[in-house]
Structure 1
Amino acid sequence: MTTTTQYPECCAKDNGDALGMNATATSPISVDGTPVAGELYTIPPRCGRAVKLKKGQVIKIINTPGSQVCDTWFFNSDDLSEFASMEHTRAFIDKIIPQPGDVLVTNQRRAIVTLLTDTSPGVHDTMIAACDLFRYSNMGITEYHDSCADNMRMALNAIGLRAREVPQPLNLWMNTPVNPDYTISWLPTVSAPGDYVEIRAERDCVAVMSACPQDIVPINGCSPKEIQFTVAG
C-alpha cells in the first residue's frame, strides 16, 4: 500500500500553483517568452522553459543526449484554458503516437500544432501524466523533488502567465509501451544523441518544455540531462 506525503496545498480553486521551486522560475528565455529566431536555447536538466510561438513558426526540439524525455505542452496564447489535448488528439489522428504530418488538436478539437519532422525512431508517449510531487511521494520520496508539473507551472509564471491545470503532455521520446497483458513498461529512450522533432504552430500558442527530472524509473536512464530548442519563422 502506498501513502502520499502531504505537501502545501496549491490554490484552492485550481491546480495552477507550483508546490516547490527550482531555477525554472527565474530563468525565462526572455521577459515575455518571445524567442530570438535561430538562437539555440538550452533547458537545463530537471528544469523547464516556455516560449511564445506565432502562427507559422516552427520549433525544433533537440534530444541533445539522446536519452532525455521532454514533456511538452502547447497552450492557446489567447486563452490558456485551451491547450493541446492528447485525449482529443488520439481520437483525431486515430493513433496513440503522432507521426510527421499529424496535427495535434486542442480540448476544443481545433488544430494547434503540426508535427513536421521526427528524426528519431518515433517512440513517444501520449498516455502518461506529467510527473508531480504526489507521483514521487508514492514512490517513496519524502522531500521536495523537481517535477514536470511544477516545471510547467513555473515556466509559464516566469513569463507572466498561469494555467489553471496541468494537461496531459506530449512526452517526447518517452518509451512506455503497453504490453500484451496491458501492463506498462518504463524503458529508456530509443532515440540517438541529436535526434529532434520540428513542430509548426497552427495558431499563436505558448510551448512549454520540461527536461523530465525522473530519476527513479529508467525513462531518462535515471540521469536527467539537458534539452535544446530553436525557433524559426
Structure 2
Amino acid sequence: MSADFQHREVITLPARYGKAVRLNRGEAVQVINLYGTQVVDCWAYNAQDISEYMSMEATRVWNQRLNPKVGDSFITSQRHPILTLVADTSPGVHDTFMAACDARRYELLGCKTFHRNCHDNLFEGMRELGVELPHGNLASFNIFMNIQVQPDGITLKTLPVVTRPGDYIVLRAEMDCFVVFSACPQDIVSIQGQGDNTPRDAELRILTAGFPAVPLKGAWVPD
C-alpha cells in the first residue's frame, strides 16, 4: 500500500512543467496522477555517465513487450537496466511509442507563439540539478498515455488517459540515475483525460523503503 512507502521527499510536478530527481540505486520514485487525467513523460540517465540514457527501443527488445508491466525493466542505450516498474495501481495503460512533444510539434499543430513542451521541460529539469544534457531525446516513456494498437496490427490510435485520481506507478532505480518527468503541456491533441484536455499537476515521491521487492529479470532470449 502507498501508505507503507517510506519517502524522503515529496515534489509537486506542476502542470506544463518538468522536474528532475536524482535517485540512488535501490531507491524508487512514485509518480501519482493526482487528478487521474495527466500524461507524464519520463526519461532517465546514468548519473555517472549521462551519455547513457533510458532507451525505449532497447526496452522493448529486452521485455518483448510494447508497453511495460510490473516486473519489467527499462533498459539503457548500453543495454543495462536503469529502472524497474515495481508497482502500478493504474489500469496499466502507458506508451513507449510516441515522441515527446517539442516546439516544432506545436508549430505543426498551428501554434504561432511558443508553447510549453515536454522536450524543453527535459532540459529545464536537468538544468535545475546543474546538469546540461549533450543532446535531446524525443523517445520518452509516456506514463499513463493511452495509445492503442488497432486490429490491423500496424495503426495507432491516440486516446485520452484512463487513470483515476490517485493512481500511481513506482519505478525502482537499478543504478544511480537522474530521472526526469514532464507534466505534459499538450492541450491541442486530446490525450489528457475527462474531455477538457487541461494539463494538471502530478506528484512525485522519492521512496527509500516499503515498496514491493520485485526481482530484477534478465534480458529475453529465444527458447
Would you say 1:218 and 2:210 are equivalent positions?
Answer: no
Match of 1:193 in 2: 165
Once the two structures are superposed, what CA deviation does each residue of 1:179-232 show, in whole Å capped at 9, x if it has no partner? 234332221101111000011100000010000000001111410001101112
Shift of 1:119: 0.4
The residue matched to 1:89 in structure 2 has which SS? helix
Moved more, 100-109 or 177-186: 177-186
The residue matched to 1:38 in structure 2 has which SS? strand
Match of 1:172 in 2: 143
Q: Which runs of 4+ in 1 moved over 6 A?
A: none
The residue matched to 1:82 in structure 2 has which SS? strand
Determine which of 112, 118, 143 is the counterpart of 2:88: 118
Would you say 1:105 and 2:75 are equivalent positions?
Answer: yes
Equivalent pairs, count = 198
* Paired residue type of 1:164: P
Once the two structures are superposed, what CA deviation does each residue of 1:59-108 show, in whole Å capped at 9, x if it has no partner? 11101111100000110001111111000000000001111011111010
Match of 1:148 in 2: 118
Unaligned runs of 5+ in 2: 1-5, 209-223
The residue matched to 1:129 in structure 2 has which SS? coil
The alignment's C-alpha RMSD in Å is 1.3
Would you say 1:74 and 2:47 are equivalent positions?
Answer: no
Unaligned runs of 5+ in 1: 1-35
* Paired residue type of 2:132: R
Match of 1:163 in 2: 133
Counting strand residues as a fraction of each chain, which structure ranks higher?
Answer: 2
Determine which of 86, 97, 103 is the counterpart of 1:127: 97
Q: 1: CA distance between counterparts of 2:155 and 2:72? A: 27
Moved more, 160-169 or 107-116: 160-169
Match of 1:228 in 2: 203
Once the two structures are superposed, what CA deviation does each residue of 1:24-74 show, in whole Å capped at 9, x if it has no partner? xxxxxxxxxxxx943321011000000000000011110111110000011
Q: 2: CA distance between counterparts of 1:197 and 1:38? A: 17
* Paired residue type of 2:27: Q
Moved more, 184-193 or 116-125: 184-193
* Paired residue type of 1:225: R
Shift of 1:127: 0.4
* Paired residue type of 2:171: I
